[in-house]
Chain A
Amino acid sequence: MKHSQGFPETALKRMLESGRFTVTGEVGPPHGADHSLVLDRTNLVKDYCDAINITDNVRGIPTMSSMVCARFVIQAGAEPVMQMSARDRNRILFESELYGAYALGVRNVLFITGDHTILGSHPQAKMVYDLDSIQALQLASHLMTGQDLAGDELEGVPAFYLGATLNPNADPMELQVWRVEKKRDAGAQFFQTQAIYDTSRLEQFMEQIEPFGVKVLAGLIPLKGPKMATFMNERIPGIKIPKSFIERLEQAGDGLKGDEKREAVRSEGLKIAAETIKKVRGIRGISGIHIMAIGWEESIPELVRAAGLYPRPK
């Protein structure tokens, strides 16, 4: 695909291309209008991440716009990865927001299909899906050639480092592998995976996508406790947490009560995540990790330190 400006040099791109093990983390936008929360959460994790993802109305639960939050991440002195879901915008809004995001200084954009609204708090909402995530990537690549979808010349051409997701847990594997290839062909340069617990599927998957030459960050969600793990197995699409992990969380802090018990369970959760990091680092083709803390941003510094990935290279 032809790009008039090529991909912009982002810190994320530099890290990934340098071959050093990369760390990205996720900041959840506030469920309301208080932007200071974005600044606070970013400040908490920015020294531990090479770039910070801003999620986009996960599970259809409305939170502050990812474009606006990405701007506040920049203000806090970090580099955002703005997520855009195909669930809530049609091609017109995709184009419009990509122009706006570029103007605000956002350079890393990651496209996702978006969870079904039935999984969130607004199940009655009308979902859009004018495009799917692959077509949205194509659209972004197209805008970078200086034209919109109608073929009209742009007043200012955006340039993005484009990302996408992959889920080695999803079926059928062969088709999921082809989807990675399609996403690459549509312009995706880097991939973040859905949360990984059992690493064997990821290993198998990585072997199959090796020929595509894309950068992959393995996704992690540290578990706060057995209830969260069970909830995730039931309610978060595309996640499989092995029973053995849930049992470890159940048994953690046996005999303890209250805060002490909670601390013990959480540290077991972090231990599982640290073990997973160790395992994924050994998988060929994995370029880094992506920590999705889901409201537990404090876990990111702890995990990055525990994994020996701190300090981050400047």
Chain B
Amino acid sequence: MCTLLVNATMIAMELKSPEEILKMLEGYRKIVLFGDSGCAQMCDVGGILQLEDMEDFLRQNGKEVLGRIFVEGGICDTNNIRQELIKNQEMLERADAFLIQACGVATQTLTELMPEKESFPAANSKFLGSMPERFVHEERCIMCGDCILDLTGGICPIARCAKGILNGPCGGSMDGKCERDPDTDCVWQLIYDRLKALGKLDNLRSIWKVKDWSLARGPREIIKQET
């Protein structure tokens, strides 16, 4: 079930530059690499191949790579990763630092589980996106905490309007494109077209109220009560 979820939507990320990675690892010699088969693999930052490449790169730059821990599923699944840590305990104890080729959540999960050593982020987490084709990721959601896709015909203006406005489009929308750059669609044009096709243009006739952005700010948590 978890993999299905991960396949449907993912945290899109990119590896940091080699210079940046070497800079953050300055003063640490023995490194353990982390990757996973979820978002990290799909974004080509922490799949098996990228872990191998990183190992070669770090070796060439004078580091000792003690090993790679590749997790089936996501590093964010704490129970899952805990098993891996127990299995690799001896190696982890010898390490000076960990390099996490996955999202910011993964790095923080490992920081919490192994506070005695530092976990470094090898990737920049960028957005929640879809993957229309291999190597292409498009932002779709910024997790605003109060989803309004029901009003917009399933297209998110918060994540996909360059200004995130609620009563769009702004005056910069021309020929279906956004004022920010001519390659990006104006999402309000897309919403308009979609609602028109659905016969729901009335959704756009009244003023949409001021948003409660406090729901979009962290730290947030969800604790589900069993029923």
Contacts and interface: CB of A to CB of B under 8 A. Distances in A.
Contacts of A178: 204-205
B192 interface: yes
A132 B186 contact: no
B175 to A, nearest CB: 6
Given A172-B192, A182-B167, A118 B181 contact: yes
Contacts of A119: 179-180
Interface string B207-220: 10111010000000
A138 B201 CA distance: 22
B188 interface: yes
B172 A238 contact: yes
A96 to B, nearest CB: 16
Contacts of A237: 170-172, 174, 179
A259 interface: no
A237 B180 CA distance: 8
Interface in A143-170: 149, 165-167, 169-170
Interface of A: 86-87, 91, 113-116, 118-119, 127, 129-135, 138-139, 149, 165-167, 169-172, 174-176, 178-179, 181-182, 185-186, 194, 237-238, 240
A162 B186 CA distance: 28
Interface stretch (B13-21, B43-51, B157-165): B157-165
B167 A170 contact: no
**Chain B: number of interface residues, binned into ranges:** 20 to 34
A129 B165 contact: yes
Q: Which of B167, B169, B211 has the most CB of A within 10 A?
A: B167
Nearest to B166: A132
B171 A134 contact: no
Nearest to B210: A135
B184 to A, nearest CB: 11
B150 to A, nearest CB: 19
B213 A87 contact: no
Contact of B174 (A86, A114, A179, A240): A240
A186 B207 contact: yes
Contacts of A185: 207
Contacts of B173: 170-172, 238
Contact of A182 (B162, B171, B172, B207): B207
